[in-house]
Structure 1
Amino acid sequence: MDMQSVGDAFIRPGQVLTDRSALSAASRWTQAVSEADGVCVIHLSPGADPCEVTAELREEGMQASPNHVFRGQPLFFGGPASRPFPCPPIPYKPGRTRSDVVIGLLDTGVAKHPWWSRSDWYERLGPDDADATEGAQAGHGTFIAGLLARLAPGAALRVDRVLDGDGFTDEATVVRALHRMRDQPPDVLNLSFGGHTFDDRPPPLLSDAVAALSGTVTVACAGNTASDRPFWPAALACAVGVAALDDSQERRAPYSGHGTWVDACARGEWLASSYLECGEFEGFATWSGTSFATALVAGAIAGAAGDEPPKEVVARLLDAEGARQIPDLGVVVPASL
């Protein structure tokens, strides 16, 4: 994916994300516009800086943002747990009980797997929602789907592939996918990707798109940044931001993002789940990262949402009297797999 660095944030060069109301105001910088699912991407004229254009449009009261680049957050920058490792088959037999709970999964897609090969939700997936087979994050979505399936048995997944095989996407792609969910919003939404913004402010169109799913509990990863810099969309007020604990579930995993904007935490190291059948992998792997801590929290919420509305579940989870909390990591969510 073509991108440029602005500080520790990444953006698509020469692109500004906005809605139709800003097109006239942006015309003096515009070379072309691409529009889909209620989102406009302005392709700027040569020499126009996306961050400067964004600042000017915001001063005029417009919704605008550089088209930020986001990436999935398995641990990938080094260390003994920085990639998936093959593991023996995990004993798990999907139950026959069906739940009315729907979990949205925006990720690399989901591959065929024995755990859900006969599930109604998997049979409805199109070829564009199949997991990537090549790239550093191929299998990321399938791994997360397995964690969700075990914690919320009987729940249906609504899959939309927004990440490529290396785990990259951009803000426009994510906002468009969120807009497509508005007619039939999921109960719980798992977003195991994100990134910084050029100015550390919430990206307005992404924020509005998440907030518009008012009945949905959106759960997003705090990132593998080892810093307290806000990581989006996890830092949005309308999202549950999730950090990773080490395998003792007593301390922050050293790579995990943290800060006052984090709401919850769960184990993120050496988790085992479903994976691709390729090379040395026979459909199962162990992997680490805030991506997977997020799936544990989303799965715990979805698993309890069969008995009460998901918004009530998350309120009880985050405000429970006597719940263990860790400063800058939020409420500890234990998850048994």
Structure 2
Amino acid sequence: MIRARWLSTFLLVVVAAAVTRADGPEFDPPLPDVVAVRLAPNWDIQSFLQRLDKLIPGVTVMDAIESRKIYLLDLPPGADEDAVDVLLDDNFSQDPNNPDPNLPLLWGNRSYLTQAAESRTGSVYVSFTAPTAPQIFRQQYANDMLGLDLAHNTSTGSGVTVAVIDTGVDAVHPELVGRVLPGFNFLHGTVDTSDVGDGMDNDADGQIDEAVGHGTFMAGLIALTAPDANILPIVALDSDGNGGDFVIAQAMFYAIDHGVEVINMSLGTTYESQAIEDAIEEADSLGIFVVGAAGNQGQDDPNHEEIPATDNDAFGVAAVNDADVRAPFSNISDELDLSAPGTSVQLDANTFDPERSILGPVPGGGYAWWEGTSASTAFVSGTVALIRAQHPEWWYSPCDGDPEPGESIPSRITRCLRDVLTDPSNVVDISAQNPAGGLGAGRLSTSAAVAAGPPAPTPGDLNNDGAVALADLAIMLADYGQVHSPADLNGNGRVELSDLALLLSNFGT
């Protein structure tokens, strides 16, 4: 009942947004009568609701991230706006620098819509059926631009897991079979993460299930880039590509708790959701790299915000074409970090230029042409997986000098990854083609970024000294049972017997 109420509220605002801005909203709308809060450590939800009832009677819990004490609250229809403002304007929230045990919250804010980059603008894929589709998929222009074949001589992403927060993933597609881990569907509260539609035009934009295949497509591009990485599918967008910031945060914390190294977010919101901000900050502290799409509204404002892409602790990706010119749909921002291929060239209604277009897998075993900053984001996420596989030792020894007081070694990992990806010697300079800027440090070169590091070590060589030996066994035993550890060699989210068996099978090599 709680989830059904949440979905009905969510769909109402999605429909309203589509009706008022059919070409895609410039700013994401709030969900009506819904707020999110994070409780202070010394408070529980029942005590808070009892206190809140004196201000706003009848508030109930719609959903929760219990492990973080984050709650989605359903306000009674017509709740007094002045009272809601009191709840949200820090009157209930503690100052982190001077905590007051009498104040129940760390923060409170309204909940907002979040969308796949392509859903905002109504972009849909075009199916491509030909016996040569698998070959074209592996030889598409992005493969050559990024230097994927060369990069794979050094790393294939083995042992690294990339969370794909999206519409779901077709786990039995030939390009993905054997690479997809069990995940979770936060829209329906089940383990069914298949990428399927519901046959409804949920957002009243005249298109039915236009985002079906979005998650599968992005997972396919990640697999193309990092062929031995694992994919953790997490459903947080509906089949029209829409979600709420709270459910996106749920998905992010789920990914964190399941030991991923990379979180691919080919989606965004124009609202700075505190729940998403908290998830990004926690991920960063654990060395988990969050990659976000710049968005497809063609925004020219260098100060435009698209979360997570423009968040300081996440990595934002814009799109360029095959000539390294900004894609006409790609947002720009001074807060973005890098660009990557993201365009396709359509010749007529059903035909694309195979040498200048992006092909990816779609549900049912097929392939399709698509474009968008979502695709650019997936290429970067795959590249990060390759680099992480090269450096298991970064978890145990600082990658860029000794940590600052109170700083953990893992928290340096994202900084080192950012440095590798954006180092001038590792990117393609595209400033001449794009004098307006706003596209980050340049265009991604997967081959150069990977070439900056050593060959990925044999699975089990955790200290990356060239041999699987007693020191590595000692590291694994010390990390046994841990969620966050390179000793999770098979990338299934925990260091366990299967990882020990793999290490022992390579012992002495």
TM-score higher than 0.5 here?
yes
Note closer, same or farther for the CA distance 1:44–1:301 as it changes in structure 2 (3 Å cut): same
2:137 matches 1:101: no
Contact 2:255–2:263 under 8 Å retained in 1: no
Tell me the CA shift for residue 20 of structure 1.
3.0
Match of 2:37 among 4, 18, 21: 18
For residues 266 and 214 of structure 2, what CA distance do their matches in structure 1 show? 9
- Counterpart mapping for 1:153-302 below 5 A: 153-197=227-271, 202-213=272-283, 214=285, 215-227=287-299, 228=301, 229-249=304-324, 251-270=325-344, 271-277=358-364, 283-302=366-385
For residues 162 and 127 of structure 2, what CA distance do their matches in structure 1 show? 26
**Unaligned segments of structure 1, at least 5 residues:** none
User: Amino acid of the residue matched to residue 85 of structure 1?
Assistant: V
Contact 1:16–1:50 under 8 Å retained in 2: no
For residues 57 and 315 of structure 1, what CA distance do their matches in structure 2 show? 37
Match of 1:133 among 197, 208, 213: 197
Note closer, same or farther for the CA distance 1:195–1:173 as it changes in structure 2 (3 Å cut): same
Greater percentage in helix? 2
Note closer, same or farther for the CA distance 1:53–1:224 as it changes in structure 2 (3 Å cut): farther
1:64-121 alpha-carbon deviations (Å, 9 max, x no partner): 221111111126636xxx321122312259x9x77111111111110120122234x3
* Matched-pair identity in %: 27
Note closer, same or farther for the CA distance 1:52–1:315 as it changes in structure 2 (3 Å cut): farther
Number of the residue aligned with 2:113: 69
2:95 matches 1:59: no
1:114-148 alpha-carbon deviations (Å, 9 max, x no partner): 122234x35x3575211123501000000001100
Tell me the CA shift for residue 149 of structure 1.
0.3
Note closer, same or farther for the CA distance 1:322–1:287 as it changes in structure 2 (3 Å cut): closer
- Counterpart mapping for 1:75-90 below 5 A: 77=121, 82-87=123-128, 88=130, 89-90=133-134
Note closer, same or farther for the CA distance 1:8–1:76 as it changes in structure 2 (3 Å cut): closer
For residues 318 and 83 of structure 2, what CA distance do their matches in structure 1 show? 32
User: Amino acid of the residue matched to residue 315 of structure 2?
Assistant: V
For residues 385 and 82 of structure 2, what CA distance do their matches in structure 1 show? 38
**Larger Cα Rg: Structure 1 or Structure 2?**
2
For residues 128 and 17 of structure 1, what CA distance do their matches in structure 2 show? 26
Greater percentage in strand? 1
**Unaligned segments of structure 2, at least 5 residues:** 1-10, 18-24, 94-105, 140-151, 185-190, 199-208, 345-357, 395-412, 432-436, 448-509
Tell me the CA shift for residue 51 of structure 1.
10
For residues 439 and 34 of structure 2, what CA distance do their matches in structure 1 show? 34
**Which segment is superposed worse, 168-177 or 56-65?**
56-65
Number of the residue aligned with 1:33: 61
Q: Structure with the greater relative contact order (CA < 8 A, sep ≥ 6): 1 or 2?
A: 1
Tell me the CA shift for residue 296 of structure 1.
1.0
Contact 1:26–1:57 under 8 Å retained in 2: no
Question: Aligned pair count?
Answer: 320
For residues 309 and 196 of structure 2, what CA distance do their matches in structure 1 show? 24
For residues 42 and 194 of structure 1, what CA distance do their matches in structure 2 show? 22
For residues 51 and 285 of structure 1, what CA distance do their matches in structure 2 show? 50
Which SS does the other structure have where 1:231 is aligned?
coil
2:166 matches 1:116: no
2:73 matches 1:42: yes
**Which segment is superposed worse, 10-19 or 42-51?**
42-51
